[in-house]
Amino acid sequence: MLPAGRGRRDDEEGERPHPQTCSSTDHEDRPSPKELEELELLNRALEKALKVRKSILKTPLEAQGATGQKWAGEAHAPKKAEEQQLLVPVKDVPECRKLTPSPAEIEEELRGLQDVPSYLRQYVEAEPADHPTLQGEYESLLTLEGLQTTVCQCLQKLQLLRTALESQLRLCPDCTGDVGSCSPACVPARGQTCDNADMLAVPLLCYSSLQELRDLFALKLQVSMLHQEIALQKVMMAELLPVLEPRPFLEGSAGLFRAIHTQLCEGGQHFPVLVSDELLDSAGEPPTSPAQSQRQL
Amino acid sequence: MRQQQREQPRQRGPALPAAVGALCRALPPRARPAPDTLRRARFDRPQASLDFWRLLYVLLKQIHGGRWTESDAIGDQVRFVKWALWYHGYGRPQLQQLPADGSAGSRELLLAFSWLLHSLHLLEQLLARNRVQTGDETSVCTCEDAVPSSQEGAGEAGAEDRVDVRYLQWLNGRLRLQWRALHAQHQEHCKLLHKIHLFTSGSHMDQNLGHFSVTETDLTRQPEKYKQLLQLLESETMQLEAFLEWKQLEPVYWQWMETVLDNMAEEGNMCESQDAHVEKRRLPEEISCCPWADRLAGQMDRLSRELLALQEQLQQLVAQRKAAWGQKIGVLVDRIADQLTEWKLAGCQIKKDLPKSSKGICSIWSPEQLSVELLMRKGIEELAAPQEQLLEVHGWLGPDAWDGGEPTEINQNIHQREDGKEGQFWLLWAVPA
């Protein structure tokens, strides 16, 4: 990392001597067209020999389905299908394995779907309840109907993923115990893995002041924190909300409600004040002393 | 040996050992097989099996960011490799059937290894992960770290089938404290990093970089460490060179693999009956054989709940809006119908035409004016010529709203209705008799 004013490191790569490859005369980093062709032929032969099916995962979300212009370009998340070609060495299995995504792909697709509900909810809430023009109202209606279609498609996709997962799990080997972290670890600072050598070049990050550097670190930390908070919130909701189901009167339930409210709604930061609201009896004094009420809470 | 005679003659001879050698050297140091291992595996020698299991184990652990030690049991290795290959979508059941003590199957493993090379871009990934860091690095990746699906917390609190909220609060507080401490440490780290960059600026040989990194600064204080760094860099350079060599010689390797496949296909025909029962190994109810699967299923359930809730919300909203819209349109249709009837009674000729420009359309859409789809339902069909009945009326202007000059038939303002039909915007106006 550098103070400001420095450019990318690209030309530095050019300064290093090219590694000598003994067998070829032209110093290209990429194989020659002839070799590519050869490789292509061999790949095809390989496929034939393995009786491979190239399966392309087509999602049902290819058609947009809605004419609402506002969100058409933006709701790309559900359409981000991994159209990956699978080279699965498969014997002549009558079961339709060819079209099933691999567990890694299922996980990837699911990750893509995770944020969709919150985006869609934002769009729904962005639609104003009232429109000054009839045209606006009409378009708004179309937009909402389009969002409805998207939700439906997402549910369909989710169902597909579920079925795919089930069918994959039928072949799942025993993995009792620790399989470590399951999804492949993200390569730091490189984002997507790709098969060209560009991935090996590390981009240069320049900063111009200490404050910028601090902000970078602080923001990264904040992102991690938020990810964690989201995950925790989901788990806590699953655990705590059932507790709030109506049931016979509990002792000290006010305290419990307060605690649950704090955890779920205030992030554990703020505690609401509970005030005992008791009717005075005919003698004109509260049935219990203030100190006692406090203790109850 | 028979197979070798059937293979293509000499042209591949010298290239194959070079290719295999380059491949082995391009792998990371701790996961580098001997070329012999691959050769033995090609003939399905059992001696090569253990080595191959270990090779795949180490490589896959690296990809998954997991940890391993030299002393990990072979059973664990086998289990992990089988799981990881399943995870990445490797479909050969023969691999899953290999014995758990790692005593056989080297040829299957060779096949799996080649599959990984191709499908996962194994070499490229490993090279990227194992770079020697001489500079100061940080990532701008905002990927969510996979929250480990450990169930310990739930175990403790739920032991008596109760939720202890106070424990939760306490844990939450501790978590916040840890985050704050981490934040403070990061800030301190930044400060020191900046200090180093500042104090060493202008010293670096490379003008573009300009200042030392922490590693380089450390070297100035402890020069004897340079030997270590140099070794690492040389090792990496050799790996990269081997990788380039491998890229040149790759076709030879795949040709070789093809012969392996031919052999296996021949032999495989005899064992096909075994496969049938493999598919049914797991009953559908045993879905949760795997913590990974549990986690995924949990995510799916949550997602499904959210989507269903959203769907319900939208259904209500859309129904509401549609009803309101229908009402408004009903009112407007009545207004148009009345106006048109009035004109007709006054003997006017109703004219309709395409609007002059789309800008004209926008000015139509004021609260006083209309957006109508259902005019025809009100029995105004005689307006349109018979073949135009499919077209909708979308705009309506009084006679004096036109800018002047005869409207011409330009600018077909076509729009698409949600049922796929095309509608056009029209202007209607009355010409007094």
Is A174 at the interface with chain B, CB within 8 A? yes
Percent of chain B clearing pLDDT 70 (strictly above): 64
Across the interface, of A6, A110, A187, the residue whose CB is closest to B210 is A6
Nearest residue on chain B to A22, alpha-carbon basis: B245
Establish, for the pair of chains A and B, how many residue pairs have beta carbons separated by less than 8 Å.
Answer: 350
pLDDT of residue A144: 92
User: Is the ipTM, as predicted for this complex, more than 0.90?
Assistant: no
Contact B141 A188 (CB under 8 A): yes
pLDDT of residue A106: 92
Over residues B283-334, the pLDDT tens digits come to: 444 445 577 888 889 889 989 999 999 999 999 999 998 888 777 766 666 6
Contact A3 B210 (CB under 8 A): yes
Contact A180 B66 (CB under 8 A): yes
**Cβ pair B55, B70 in contact under 8 A:** no
Q: CA–CA distance from A209 to each of A4, A6, A39, A42, B208 (Å)?
A: 8, 13, 50, 54, 17
**Cβ pair B62, A193 in contact under 8 A:** no
Measure A141 CA to nearest chain B CA, in Å. Answer: 7
- Amino acid letter, residue A10: D
- Pick the residue of A41, A42, A182, A222 with the most B CBs within 10 A to test the interface with B by mutation: A182
Distance CA A97, CA B93 (A): 12
Nearest to A172 by CA among B283, B34, B270: B283
Contact B261 A7 (CB under 8 A): no
Which of A114-128, B204-218, B257-271, B400-414 shows the lowest mean pLDDT across its residues? B400-414
Measure B347 CA to nearest chain A CA, in Å. Answer: 31
Does the pTM surpass 0.80? The reply is no
Nearest residue on chain B to A188, alpha-carbon basis: B139
Measure A287 CA to nearest chain B CA, in Å. Answer: 29
Q: Bigger pLDDT: A239 or B99? A: B99
DSSP letter, residue B126: H
Can you tell me the mean pLDDT for B164-174?
Answer: 87
Is A92 at the interface with chain B, CB within 8 A? yes
pLDDT of residue A246: 74
Nearest to B126 by CA among A93, A200, A53: A200
| SS3 state at A128 | coil
The token pair that represents A162 in the structure block: 């579920």
The token pair that represents B353 in the structure block: 């035409």
CB-side neighbour CA atoms (13 Å) of B342: 9
Q: How confident is the model at residue B264 (pLDDT cuts 50, 70, 90)?
A: confident
CB-side neighbour CA atoms (13 Å) of B130: 23
Contact A89 B92 (CB under 8 A): yes
Counting Cβ atoms within 10 Å, is residue A247 exposed (0-12), middle (13-18) or buried (19+)? exposed
Over residues A24-64, the pLDDT tens digits come to: 344 445 567 776 776 676 666 655 544 433 333 233 333 33
- Pick the residue of B108, B114, B168 with the most A CBs within 10 A to test the interface with A by mutation: B168
Q: Bigger pLDDT: A144 or A33? A: A144
The token pair that represents A35 in the structure block: 């070799």
Can you tell me the mean pLDDT for A175-192?
Answer: 49
**Cβ pair A142, A150 in contact under 8 A:** no
Average pLDDT, rounded, for chain B: 74
